[in-house]
Each structure stands twice: as C-alpha cells, then as structure tokens.
Chains A and B, each alone.
Chain A
Amino acid sequence: QQQVKQSPQSLIVQKGGIPIINCAYENTAFDYFPWYQQFPGKGPALLIAIRPDVSEKKEGRFTISFNKSAKQFSLHIMDSQPGDSATYFCAARVLSFGNEKLTFGTGTRLTIIP
C-alpha cells in the first residue's frame, strides 16, 4: 500500500528550467512533509519541509507548494543547475501512539542537462 504517491519517476530538464515533482497522499493524519535529496552513493539528506498549515515555503531555489484540500504537495526547483541532478523523495510524517514514522514516495530521478 503506497501511502505517498510520487510522480514522475524520472525527469530531464534543461539547465535554467523549473522541474516540478508532485506527491499525493491519503492519510489526513500526516502532519509534516519533508523532501529529501539523494546523490549517488549517499544517503538521503533533508532538503526542505513544510507543515500543512502553510501553502508555500521557499528556501533558496527550492519551493514547496502545498494544497491541503487536494492532499497534494510539490517541489519546484528554480533556475535548475546540473548540480541539482539527484534523486528526490517526498515524505510524510505521522505520529502514532507517541512514535513518529516517515513514509516515503518512490522517488524521482532528476537530470539537469547543460
């Protein structure tokens, strides 16, 4: 059962373009939505995160847009660079009996071509 659905699976964008990665969820108990960036041979690293009471969050060239009613959120990368080429994972957190769990999407392999 995939609780967080991520698309597309792969994405190729020209340098300077704006790649957009989308995620959707069903569980309304999710209360925190982070994005992770993973380079080959490395573990995922926290990139940016948002809470459901905020519709947009920007950190540098990275922006999360959040639509609570549609249960969807997306990552936009402004002025994309070849160094942004990586796999991106969206995730959603739930607190259950005092314990937190992150559920990840299936990942998007992003390639920025010069």
Chain B
Amino acid sequence: DAGITQSPRYKITETGRQVTLMCHQTWSHSYMFWYRQDLGHGLRLIYYSAAADITDKGEVPDGYVVSRSKTENFPLTLESATRSQTSVYFCASSDRGTGNYGYTFGSGTRLTVV
C-alpha cells in the first residue's frame, strides 16, 4: 500500500539504550521530516532531509541521529535514550515539486524511556 509507515508503533526502552525509529514512504517524496509531539509544545522539528544523503538539524536535534541512504527511508536513532525523550514521534514527507506543499504524516511512534 502506498503511504508513509512508521515502526514500531509503541516502544519502551531503558535509559542509556540506543533505539531506532523507522520511517518508510512509497511516494519517492524528496523531503522527509522527524517531529516530536509533546503536550504544551506542539510539534517540534528534530531533523529533516531534502534528498538522499542530505540531512539537516531542526529545532531540537540534540541526542538524535538520522541517516538517509535511500529516498524512501529515514530512520531516527536515539544514541543514548533519556527520560526527556519520552514522546510521540512523527515522520512526515513532502514533495515540493507538485505544488502541493502539504506534509503527509505517519501514524507515529509512542516512545517511553524508563
């Protein structure tokens, strides 16, 4: 099915562990984004990518690492998870070329760091 999928949907990890959240899109959109959603903060941009092998920091990048070796995949890694990284993480994609500038979001990954 076409779309943007995130995995896992739910994850519980311990402080200090490394964890990777996966994001896959089937449209070949050039832009992909990672946001975290926290009450009172809305959606905050962690990292984004304009194309394969091109990534850049967003508003809250500390403690996160991304890579984009293929256009369709954009994994987000928490190198050493902390309790403050407990959040709901959303991946999104966008294709500027069509003139439709809306972002399409995945269903999110709820991450709990204990």
Binding site for B on A (CB under 8 A): 6, 9, 32, 34, 36, 41-46, 49, 89, 93, 98-107
Contacts and interface: CB of A to CB of B under 8 A. Distances in A.
Contact of A106 (B33, B40, B59, B101): B40
Nearest to A102: B103
A37 B43 CA distance: 12
Most B CB atoms within 10 A — which of A36, A93, A101?
A101
A49 to B, nearest CB: 7
Given A34-B101, A107-B42, A100 B107 contact: no
Nearest to A46: B102
Main secondary structure of the interface of B (DSSP, over half): strand
Nearest to B54: A99
A101 B41 contact: no
A46 B107 contact: no
B101 A43 contact: no
A106 B106 CA distance: 19
B58 interface: yes
B8 to A, nearest CB: 14
18 contacts: A9-B40, A36-B103, A36-B105, A41-B108, A43-B90, A43-B105, A43-B106, A44-B43, A44-B90, A44-B103, A45-B105, A46-B103, A46-B104, A89-B42, A89-B43, A105-B42, A106-B41, A106-B42
Contacts of B59: 103
A92 B25 CA distance: 23
Contacts of A93: 101
